[in-house]
Amino acid sequence: MTIIPAIDIINGKCVRLTKGDYAQQKVYNDNPVEVAKMFADAGLKRLHIVDLDGAKAGKIINLSVLEKIAAATNLIIDFGGGIKTITDVGNVFNAGATMATVGSLAVKNPEMLEEWLMEFGADKFLIGADVLDEKIKISGWLEDSGINIFDFIGNMIGLGAINIFCTDISKDGVMQGPSIDLYKTIMEQHPEINLIASGGVSNLADVVELKAIGCSGAIIGKAIYEGNITLQQLTNIN
């Protein structure tokens, strides 16, 4: 299983939200590049960057942060938040990301996503499924799409996308454990996808359990920043 530390960006700073609430944000570091270098120095290979300003504004805001991190590390980066056009996708790749993360657009305009998959290749995209009560939320978790998570994943598979990460918003940032039952059900219904768990990881036991049920990766944020999991522990699992 691949361990993927997360860096969420607001105003160029490394922050974490609680349950996706922009009013509940905590700044962990004014310099995300320092944080990324810390992950790289520990031996981790991947990085998940979310432009929270971009997700809220509907356009990429913090591309320069991606450029700086890519220039300073050899991390395999996926970047999302505000990607709306094929030009945005190209800009993200040119700035140093290996994968573009797409969430809201995959829900609102799957036809456009299909064009991107054909243009760049399905392996260049990480599809984000942000869930509350098994329904997909979009636009920085601010809008309810009304679409069921299982139907959504089925739709994505139909387009050729198999790299999918799922965040249970009710678990995100509260350090109470991930949605094991939800992930189990997803894996049972769609065993062909590469499912990355996101949200709720609070300790090493959570990571071990996610690995045991077959998740291909885990995105971890707050548990690292709060010191509940050490980078050495994650490197050993990686």
* Residue of 119, 74, 123, 118 lying closest to 100 (CA atoms): 123
Contact 17, 173 (CB under 8 A): yes
Looking at 78, 88, 130, 168, which residue is catalytic? Answer: 130
| CB neighbourhood size of 133 (10 A) | 10
Annotation marks residue 206 as catalytic? no
Angle, alpha carbons 141-145-109 (nearest 5°): 100
Q: What residues form DSSP beta bridges with 46?
A: 76
Could you confirm whether 8 is annotated as catalytic? yes
Residue 30: strand, helix, or coil = coil
Residues labelled as active-site residues: 8, 130
